[in-house]
Every structure is written in structure tokens, then in C-alpha cells.
Structure 1
Amino acid sequence: MSHSVAGEPPSAGRRAAPSTTAAYSAAEWDLLTGLPGRVLVAAAASGPGRAERGVMAGLAGLDAVAAGRAFDSDLVRAVVAAIYARHDGTPHPTEQLTDLVDLLAACRAANRVLRRRADPADSAAYRQWVQSVAARVCRAVPSPGERRVDHLATPADRRFLDRLGAALGLR
């Protein structure tokens, strides 16, 4: 097996793919690996009734994605590895979409894929991890120059997290 230093691609053109990925089609895997980034972007976006988010919120989201490396789930660790393997700087095609309706539809689609293909424990871990990305972004404490707001105090943030949880099958 090829080992690489963190952040470097696998050596000699070989792709290190966890066996977990074999259970998914390319489109399903793209959905599962793109969803955390889409959730991060949507959670960081301001909107009616939602506070303006700053750099700290984005960093909190990135930290929440990276925290998936320590999950006791082969699926979550494989998704995080795939996210970090995108070293060419191009965004995942689905990370550019932040429309809430499309995001919730993608969450429901991922939930269906996970019900069909994933071990129930991996499915639950993945869905909870994706929800935790949004929650950490919404709870991020602004940096010193940013306006300080209790982000979860807004009903809009709570509705966003509730709708996301429902779409992921957590409620």
C-alpha cells in the first residue's frame, strides 16, 4: 500500500481509495464528498434573519470537516480523505451551489443513497457529521474585528439547522 505525507497525492499515479468507496457509483460518491462543502457554504451564508458570518465561521466549518478524520466511521474518514485529496485547487462541482432548496434536496438524496448502500452506523455517523459542520459554522464566535452576535439565537438559524437535520433524516 502506498503511503503519502499529509496533503500530498498518492505516489506514482496510484489512487489510494478506501474499500468503502467501492459501494458507491461515481455520482453517489461525488454527492457524498461534495455535500459537506455545500453545507459549510450554506451555513456561512447570510440571509433574511440570519447574521452575517465572517472568517471565523468559515474556519469553524473547515475545522468541523477536518474533524471527520477522527470519526469512528470508515465512510466519514474516506469522505474526508477524498475531500483533502482534491489538491489541484479546483472546487468540487457541487460546492458552487448554495441554494437552500437544492441543498436540502441533495441532503435527502444522500440520505437515500446511505440507506441503500451504507452500513447503518456509517450512515448515521456521516449524517451527524454533516449536521455538525453546519452547527459549528452557525455557532462560530466572530473574530475581534467582526460584529459579535449569538448566531443560534436567531430563529432563522434554528430553522436552517432543523430543516437540514430533517433532510438528513436526523429528525
Structure 2
Amino acid sequence: MLTPEVPMSHSVAGEPSSAGRRAAPLTTAVYSAAEWDLLTSLPGRVLVAAAAPGPGRTERGVSASLAGLDAVAAGRASDSDLVRAVVATIYARHDGAPQPAERLTDLVDLLAACRAASRVLRRRADPADSAAYRQWVQSVAARVCRAVPGAGVRRADPPANPADRRFLDRLGAALDLG
């Protein structure tokens, strides 16, 4: 359970966590619990929305979901302390409580959450961490949209479906990528 403020700082002397694993290096900004929840839930929400059917888009299936999960996991190797900390938090969650479906897949709410995350990052994060986080979240959606049915996590470039391209463009704009 998160406390009202989640301090994000480098560990003392770089020592490993008590579980024997190296703790992910963290940024020095301080995020409120609500801000941290937003940043850590957004990649999963984007994955679900990218895989969901919508106007001109069909449901993707298992291969697209695997591509999205692979993209989330790829954040563990990011140069960004923030991205690595977010991924560590995602993987550390064991509550198993499902998110309400409308929170996960409503496009209007998702785009609003992306804009809110961009504002939080503009206020609190190092510019490089902010850019890395926003690009990583966009990459989750892109990998889902580019997944080839029945081909595991391999991708076709670019998304063939114009509706997928519009979805990615709207997501990129909400993430202030361009």
C-alpha cells in the first residue's frame, strides 16, 4: 500500500533491497500516491485500450496482448530511472484486484489520463525521464497495434489499419509527443 507521498530517490550507498535484488534506481522527484498510481496504471490501461475493438478496429487477441506485455517488460531495460521504477512497481503489485473495465478501456478517459500524466511529468520529472516515460507508454500501444495475429510478439510495421494509426496519433498527442 502506498503512503500519501511516495519519495523517489536513489538508495543509500546503492545497496540492494532486503529481498536480495537490486532496487531500481529512482528519480529524486516526489510523486503523490495519486500521481504514482496514475503513472503506474497508465501502461496497462494503454495496453488494454490498444487491444480492444473500437470503431474500425477489431479485437486483437492473445498475440497482441503478449506484444503489449513484452513492451511493458522492455521498460526494465530503459535508460530512464522513472521507467524502470514504474515497471518495478507494476511487477511488485500482487493484489490481483482487477481494474474496472470502464477505467481500462474508455478512450476518452484514457486520453485524459495521458494528458494528466504528461502534466504531472512536466511538473515533477526530469525532462529526459518524462520523454522516456511518454515514449515508452506510446511504444506499448504501438506494439499491440502492430502485432501480427498468430505470430506471437512479432510486429508488422506500420499498422495497416487506418483506425489503429488514428488511435496511435491521438494517444501520441495526449502524451504530448508531437
TM value normalised by structure 2: 0.80
Aligned equivalents of 1:95, 1:78: Cα separation in 2? 26
2:66 corresponds in structure 1 to 59
Identify the structure with bigger relative contact order (alpha carbons < 8 Å, sequence gap 6+): 1
Change (3 A) 1:92 1:2: farther
Give the distance between the partners of 2:76 and 2:144, measured in 1 at CA: 18
TM (norm. structure 1) is 0.83
CA drift of 1:4 comes to 3.0
User: How far apart are 1:91 and its partner, in Å?
Assistant: 3.4
Q: Does 1:4 align with 2:19?
A: yes
* Superimposed CA distance per residue, residues 34-81 of structure 1 (whole angstroms, 9 cap, x where no aligned partner): 000000000000112113201000000000000000000000000000
Pick which of 135-144 and 66-75 moved more.
135-144
Q: Note if 1:72 corresponds to 2:79.
A: yes
Structure 1: state its 5+ residue gaps: 7-15
Identical positions, percent = 83
Which one has the bigger helix percentage? 1
Q: Of residues 28, 50, 54 in structure 2, which corresponds to 1:47?
A: 54
For residues 40 and 159 of structure 1, do their structure 2 counterparts lie closer, same or farther at Cα, with a shift above 3 Å needed? same
User: Secondary structure at 2:60's aligned position in 1?
Assistant: coil
Change in Cα spacing, 1:73 to 1:151, as seen in structure 2 (3 Å) is: closer
Deviation at 1:87, TM superposition (A): 1.9
Q: Which residue is equivalent to 1:35?
A: 42
Q: Name 2:112's counterpart in structure 1.
A: 105
The count of aligned residue pairs is 159
Gaps of 5+ in 2: 1-15
SS in 1 for 2:110: helix
User: Aligned to 1:24, what secondary structure does the other structure show?
Assistant: strand
**1:4 partner letter:** A
1:95 CA displacement? 8.6
Give the counterpart letter for 2:17 in structure 1.
S
- Structure 1 pair 34/95, CA: closer, same or farther in 2 (3 Å)? farther
